[in-house]
Structure 1
């Protein structure tokens, strides 16, 4: 069985790209604290949007989906789930809410991870919620054509409980005693969790929930306002490639987690940059049209109505539609496509 020893992380030399990521994220974290203190009212809508996007995107990665109308109703407790997918979506939303509201009181321990997994399946008529796997499994990737390929064979079921206990213990020691930056330890923990693949189902979603939990506990709360899961969904192929590269020779303890660390740090940094962009848009006293124009000016190439709604959370859908129509008529932007494929382009 693989031995986990995070004390070795302290002696590793990281390349310039990782060091730069860490420095930039630290700077963003400091600026975010100022935003949180100075502009709390403007951030409320960002929280609600991020919750919806996180729930949708993390489940979408696993092929679990529903309509936008049903998703909004489920997130806001205005309906009950109708099918298996909606039950899984509602379970994810509940776990995300638990983490948002209680992260300070959720230690990184096996029993707490099991409790979160049980909540993930609280609406499902399955027996494996809150239990470690009892059959061998594998890490699969879903390609763009919908096919699935095996990229890694994890630990056996009998090895799993001890492995999860060990990485939790090592994580706590690394954070408390080894003087290692959490931005290094968190990706390594998440990567080990995925390689162990401790559950019969829900491993990917649990890894993303645990990423949010670990970041929150270390003071990196950007995921509360910008969906990290959405960014992972958009870059799903890069995510699988980084995971696959970092998992080579994992069983032999000679793997290199660098690709996965870089991927996750890049995702976190992109979320922080989006946060600053969005909070600046919602905090200025502008008309609806001015806010939409400012949002458009941050976009390169094609953008959609949904892109603008994300950047302008204080404006309703109908208002955005009207402003976009007006800007097309004024010759400020061009409309391309129609129906669900409708997009827009800025004119020079």
Structure 2
């Protein structure tokens, strides 16, 4: 809530490095919107690959580690009986992640926050979906390993009001369009963690909500490349940045840029990775399209593999065979013979 009291003063002047990373995020966002038409199925496969990575990475950031094969089975829902607390919490991460990813889950509101937290802990003995009822402090260790207080969240009595106001102000800020949506999402996460609405699993809650908030704001990269995995690669620095940005939060004199810089940098890394995956897919697709164009529009009535190989430098025999197989299945070509002596011919008017 505190971050949204005076946004113009807080984030009105964006540091140059953050601007550069946001430019990367925006550029990839624009190109990704064309992918369903250009590369059908690519986004679906990327989403399927990112999902288990995100769930496992988010759990690991809270110290929840399950052996790889067992974790894969839990995330896939192939385990009849969960073994121990860590598997229970991993399954909760899965359920919360999948709930936020649903297209019909509805907009951000208090009920969504409560539902996601309930799902995170639903398979454990801990009650979820209940706002904190005891006072809390955030502890850390100094260089001498002594436990020291780093941050005091809002008082229990103020949690409901702060949570309501945070959601209202965040949604209102998105509506005005005055500030970058990614920065607003980062501020929402910062304030949510600072409020600490629940006794436990506040970090997991924030990470579960983040891809959904970004999606609602028009940024889907975290659905295709795991943001949690990017965060986990520099977990200590990321956690330190979040803690640094909570200093003086109660008085609205905090510096959000350590946290925002870290979050936007991780999102830019995800965007770079998505762009690389897309470029690779486009390259493979363009070669297949070259083969298809040659066969249907430039090859003779009959041709052999050697003719296609000569006409298509840089295209592997494997790619040529793949496209020929697809065209054969589509009834556009037929083959006579096998191996090098096989003769291919078109069967429809080009």
Do the aligned partners of residues 206 and 147 (structure 1) sit closer, same or farther apart at CA in structure 2, a change above 3 Å counting?
Answer: farther
- Could you tell me how far 1:18 is from its partner in structure 2? 2.3
TM (norm. structure 1) is 0.75
- Could you tell me how far 1:68 is from its partner in structure 2? 0.7
TM (norm. structure 2) is 0.74
Q: Which whole-Å CA distance do the structure 2 matches of 1:234 and 1:157 have between them? A: 34
Aligned Cα root-mean-square deviation (Å): 2.3
Question: Could you list the per-position Cα deviations for residues 71-91 of structure 1 after superposition, in whole angstroms to 9, with x for gaps in the alignment?
Answer: 111121211311111111111
Q: Where in structure 2 are there 5+ consecutive unaligned residues?
A: 286-350
Q: Which whole-Å CA distance do the structure 1 matches of 2:212 and 2:111 have between them? A: 15
What pairs with 1:83-162 in structure 2 (closer than 5 Å)? Answer: 83-102=84-103, 105-127=105-127, 129-140=128-139, 150-162=149-161
The answer on whether the counterparts of 1:226 and 1:274 sit within 8 Å (CA) in structure 2 is: yes
Query: Runs (4+) of structure 1 moved beyond 6 Å?
Result: 146-149
Number of equivalenced pairs: 280
The answer on whether the counterparts of 2:47 and 2:224 sit within 8 Å (CA) in structure 1 is: yes
Do the aligned partners of residues 5 and 254 (structure 1) sit closer, same or farther apart at CA in structure 2, a change above 3 Å counting?
Answer: closer
Q: Which residue of structure 2 aligns with residue 24 of structure 1? A: 24
The answer on whether the counterparts of 2:2 and 2:249 sit within 8 Å (CA) in structure 1 is: no
Return the match for 1:9 from 4, 7, 31.
Answer: 7
Question: Could you list the per-position Cα deviations for residues 34-65 of structure 1 after superposition, in whole angstroms to 9, with x for gaps in the alignment?
Answer: 22332132333322221111111111111111
The answer on whether the counterparts of 1:232 and 1:267 sit within 8 Å (CA) in structure 2 is: yes
Between Structure 1 and Structure 2, whose CA radius of gyration is higher? 2
The answer on whether the counterparts of 1:141 and 1:240 sit within 8 Å (CA) in structure 2 is: no
Within the alignment, does 1:177 sit opposite 2:176 as a pair?
A: yes
Q: Which residue of structure 1 aligns with residue 344 of structure 2? A: none
Q: Which residue of structure 2 aligns with residue 289 of structure 1? A: none
The answer on whether the counterparts of 1:7 and 1:174 sit within 8 Å (CA) in structure 2 is: no
Q: Which whole-Å CA distance do the structure 2 matches of 1:166 and 1:188 have between them? A: 13
Q: Which whole-Å CA distance do the structure 2 matches of 1:57 and 1:115 have between them? A: 21
Q: Which whole-Å CA distance do the structure 2 matches of 1:31 and 1:147 have between them? A: 50
Q: Which residue of structure 1 aligns with residue 227 of structure 2? A: 228
Q: Secondary structure at the match of 1:136?
A: coil
Q: Secondary structure at the match of 2:6?
A: helix
What pairs with 1:240-319 in structure 2 (closer than 5 Å)? Answer: 240-282=239-281, 284-285=283-284
